[in-house]
Amino acid sequence: MALFRKSRLPRRLVQLYTGLALYGISMALMIESALGLNPWDVLHQGLATRTGLSFGTVTIGVGIGVLLLWLPLRQRPGLGTASNVLVIGVVVDAALALLPTVAPIAARIALLLAGIVLNGVATGLYLGARLGPGPRDGLMTGFVARHPRYTVRRVRTVIEVAVLALGWLLGGTAGVGTVAYALAIGPLANLFIPLFTVPATPSTTAFPTAAAGPIPLPGTAPPGPA
């Protein structure tokens, strides 16, 4: 019981799953805005369009595929990593089923802005829980950990430009929302990650996690795998 309390495990679990659920909702808000998605979601939408699968199912499938790319990087997934793959995909499909389709441009802009801000909050919550990054974040930070001459900013840019281009070619929606997300998510993550990060204690990493140590902020080179 002492370890349970010292590791702040109850708070970390609640924070993790709240963050993942909000992340799925934020994705659904941006999709319903029809003004453009973040690069990975452009890919997800393109694949969903081509395959006929639901957006959430494609998100889960891509997440599993990205996890396989962790193997040569010797990344160790945590509970948050596995939960990220499953929870976000389920939540985004549920949210899409519940959210109304809106036509007025003012309403669509409101959905877009709400989705971007909520995405920043969700990122801070789930990364701040220190229970493992998502598969896409871990791919970037894991590569930098193995090849420290590259920064997270550089690696992230290369990966996301490639993902965006592929998703657009497959029929995903890229637009003003994509640009707005790219400009806003860095500052938002820099604000919310420190705000929600659970302070490290000697027993914080007793629970399986790949996020031990400081959490790298977007655009910085981390001291090790995150």
pLDDT band at 215; cut points 50, 70, 90: very low
Give residue for tokens 């430009």. 161
Q: What is the pLDDT of residue 6?
A: 52
pLDDT band at 209 (very low <50, low <70, confident <90, very high): very low
Q: What is the pLDDT of residues 39-55, one digit of tens each?
A: 999 999 999 999 999 99
pLDDT grade for 7, boundaries at 50, 70 and 90? low
Secondary structure (H, E, C), 63-104: HHHHHHCCHHHCCCCCHHHHHHHHHHHHHHHHHHHHCCCCCC
CA distance 95 to 24: 8
Question: Per this entry, what is the length of the chain?
Answer: 226
pLDDT averaged over every residue in the chain: 86
Distances from the Cα of 209 to the Cαs of 114, 119, 126, 132, 189, in angstroms?
Answer: 30, 22, 12, 5, 20
- Convert the pLDDT of each residue in 78-115 to its tens digit: 899 999 999 999 999 999 999 998 889 999 999 999 99
Asked if 32 and 104 count as a contact pair (C-beta separation under 8 A), the reply is no
d(C-alpha 22, C-alpha 5), whole Å: 26
Domain ranges of the chain: 9-195
pLDDT at 1 over 50: no
Whether the model clears a pTM of 0.95, i.e. scores above it, the answer is: no
